[in-house]
Chains A and B, each alone.
Chain A
Amino acid sequence: MSAAHHSTETKPILSARIRSFTYHGEGLPVLEGIDLDLAPGTLTAVLGASGSGKSTLGRLLSGWLPPGTGGTLRGFLELAGSRLEFGGSGDPRINPAEWGRHVGFVPQDPAAVLSTVRGTVAEELAFGLENAALGRQAMKTAVEHTAGVLGLTELLEQNPGSLSGGQLRRLAIGCAIIAGPQVLIMDEPFASLDSAGTAGLARLLQDLVKLGTAVVVLSQVVDAPLLDAGTWLVLDNGKVTGSGPPAGLQAGAGLLPPGIRAAGGAPAPARDHTGAVHADTLLPRGGAGVPALELRGVCFGYGGGGRAAGGRTTRRRARGGSPAGDASAQVLKDINLSIKPGEVVAVTGPNGAGKSTLLRHFNGLLRPTAGDVLVHGRDIAGEPPGEAARSVGLLFQQPRDELFERTALREVCFGLDRLFHPGEAAGRALDALSAVGLSGAADAHPAELPASGQRLLALAAVLARKPSVLALDEPTVALDGGGLALLDAAVRSAAGEGAAVVLVTHDLDYARAAAHRVVMLDGGRLDG
């Protein structure tokens, strides 16, 4: 099946015929029978559920996973007219730098792009240009233009280490496009972007395609901009199960695997099989009891003498040791929030609004500069976060920041022995793994799980503790349709058992479907 034949007759800039690709040490190929031709000025969407091989395909096409060192490729890659045949001894070697001149790549984890030795966003953007020995004036022009296109202009002098998740993704995209590659491959680029960011990226994609770039978006969600793609390539289990213009694939029911989420799709259980259970009907009654979580006049600023756990003054440090540029800004201003047991509250807001900062106050990882945080009426000001964690479960925005053990089972077991009898802890861990569909991966290394699996594993580690306050930071990011249904079931079940749930999400559809109440954090203040 040839992907781009439908959209254009122009000669492709990048072609791939992948008979098979197998990682070293694994018996079965992760990719099989994939034919792809990317012509200039086209948008191609590669759709597939988590674990379908999308990221492997993206890294292979972009030179981030060179055949030979990364695994065994049978087939060929052809870039700008020169063909590299793989499949036996004496395979050619890809020069990643040369490849990178033609093909830009934005990985699923945007932090992986950072050079880590550049002190500002502007210098990070310029890193690739410096290596190509571009003159300083030309670099400045390119940096300003790219920053303008991606809404990074205000952040140019900030340290990359101090950016929020959504801002970091924009920076990663900027690093990939600044040198004007002919092919741009992006892995889940819309994840964790706010609505302004999504709209901006959609416009950018259109502009790049108009200028003749071959753009490839790998995604498990049919985001709205992908409806305009010339070609869809549907991957399931490493094989192409459908390809062609979106119209044909959308209409034919069953051509898209169930794991692929629809554009702007609310989670399936919002319209669940009983047809009766909607979030509103679950709203807990009465308001006389003590709130599960209460914030009273909470203020916080990274440079304002906020206290981190352990009593030290926090300051977002640059990787090189200097403080972030906006250190003195107040991130949270007089936040009042009260959540009843069994209530689900969604917090939305633009990238960088301080949503993650807010969640970190719930268990004391960050301490307010003014105001109080009360869990079941108890002020947690003097408690170490480990004590507050008995009641408060926190799912981090980046699952990789949360996972640190050698196997999935050990990960979920961590800390359970402090809450339950040793015998009971193992059983609870296995139950939690099973609840998120990871029973089969108990012995897997967390880093080897696909992004969706990592998110679900982190969720299992939180759920196993049966917290009475559940704080979830962007839980839908990286989840495919199946993962989202599991998350939704877990949230409903926790709320049903009386847990107060706070969801931070940029996904408004999900927020409205899953929560009793949606509040907006913008400019440090909470509305709604």
Chain B
Amino acid sequence: MRLHPLTSLAAACSTAVITTAAASLPLSLAVMGAAVVLSARGGTARRLLPAAAAVLLPLGLSLLVMHGLFFPEGRTVLAQWGVARVTAEGLAFALERAAQLGAVVLALLVFSFSVSVPDLVAVLPSRGVHGRFAFVLASTLTLLPAITSRVERIRQAQESRGLVVRRGVLHRAAAFRLQAVPLVLSLIEDAGTRTAALEARGFSNPGPRTSYRDVPDPRGQRVLRAALLAAAAAAVAARLLLTQAGS
């Protein structure tokens, strides 16, 4: 079934909210697992996993350092260096928080790597989002692929004139310094010419606009979206009630 972009957005957001509100390690781990499986099925895992690692590794490490070493409520001391104590409770807390964060990040990344950008851009104006904002959003989502293809083109031009780039990420990264300046200059130049074209094609028209792309929004998905949002709201409410009751 083809998901309406707002349905996948609602699913990602409510998953993030519910996991945060529940603060349960098994749930967080289950969500993380499900996100990875979904992304592997959708064929986006190769791009998603490095992006997730780039976000989560530094955050996870800082959580570990903060709570693993300095957790006042910790009783079971595993190791101690002066004021710094590694406690079992601290480690458990750090793990729980890291899993929670991981679930949220993965859920949102699965959405952003799987959503059809043209569908999203087509849908937003009909929901009252200004066309210019929708365009900026779409440009942001397509920026990475656009930059990648531009770097590829510049590198191909350079390779055709004798730049030897060997296989492997490190060799590519080393070669990138030669492509960085041309990349920025060409993006700026491109933006200049593109503006004239967009303006002439009425992109800045203040009035209403229509969409050529027909994005079906079946009733089932509309109901599903409402249910997802209600579940998220319920999870937050339950969390607040539990906190109040516990205090």
Evaluate contact between A116 and B142: CB separation under 8 angstroms.
yes
Which residues of A sit under 8 angstroms from B244, Cβ to Cβ?
none
Evaluate contact between B118 and A117: CB separation under 8 angstroms.
yes
CA distance A100 to B198 in the complex (A): 10
A229 within 8 A of B: no
Q: A132-B205, A321-B117 are in contact. Are A402 and B210 (CB under 8 A)?
A: no
Partner of A386, one of B163, B193, B210, B212: B163
Evaluate contact between B200 and A320: CB separation under 8 angstroms.
no
Tier of interface size on chain A: 35 or more
Evaluate contact between B118 and A119: CB separation under 8 angstroms.
yes
Q: A99-B200, A404-B182, A418-B162 are in contact. Are A143 and B212 (CB under 8 A)?
A: yes
Partner of A139, one of B121, B197, B201, B212: B212
Evaluate contact between A405 and B161: CB separation under 8 angstroms.
no
CA distance A396 to B157 in the complex (A): 8
A126 within 8 A of B: yes
Q: A101-B202, A319-B145, A414-B161 are in contact. Are A401 and B153 (CB under 8 A)?
A: yes
**Min CB gap A307→B, angstroms:** 11
A370 within 8 A of B: no
CA distance A118 to B138 in the complex (A): 9
B73 within 8 A of A: no
Tier of interface size on chain B: 35 or more
Evaluate contact between B162 and A415: CB separation under 8 angstroms.
yes
Which residues of B sit under 8 angstroms from A402, Cβ to Cβ?
157, 160
**Min CB gap B131→A, angstroms:** 7
Evaluate contact between B162 and A390: CB separation under 8 angstroms.
yes
Task: Determine, out of A58-66, A202-210, A514-522, the stretch whose residues face the partner at the interface.
Answer: A58-66
Evaluate contact between B145 and A133: CB separation under 8 angstroms.
no
Q: A97-B200, A134-B210 are in contact. Are A319 and B142 (CB under 8 A)?
A: yes
| Residue of chain A at shortest CB distance from B122 | A123
A376 within 8 A of B: no
Which residues of A sit under 8 angstroms from B24, Cβ to Cβ?
none
* Binary flags per residue of B184-204, CB closer than 8 Å to A gives 1, else 0: 011001000110111111111
Beyond A143-B212, A386-B165, A387-B164, 15 extra complex contacts between A and B, CB < 8 Å: A130-B211, A131-B209, A133-B208, A134-B210, A135-B210, A136-B211, A161-B149, A321-B142, A363-B160, A386-B163, A394-B160, A404-B182, A404-B185, A406-B185, A465-B162
Chain A contact residues, CB within 8 Å of chain B:
59, 62-65, 96-97, 99-101, 105, 107, 109, 112-120, 122-123, 126-136, 139-140, 143, 161, 175, 309-311, 317, 319-322, 363, 365, 384-387, 389-390, 393-394, 396, 401-406, 414-416, 418-419, 447, 461-462, 465
6 closest Cβ contacts across the A-B interface?
A386-B164, A119-B118, A404-B182, A415-B162, A131-B202, A100-B200
Q: List 7 A-B contacts (CB under 8 A).
A: A64-B196, A99-B200, A131-B202, A133-B208, A161-B149, A363-B159, A402-B160
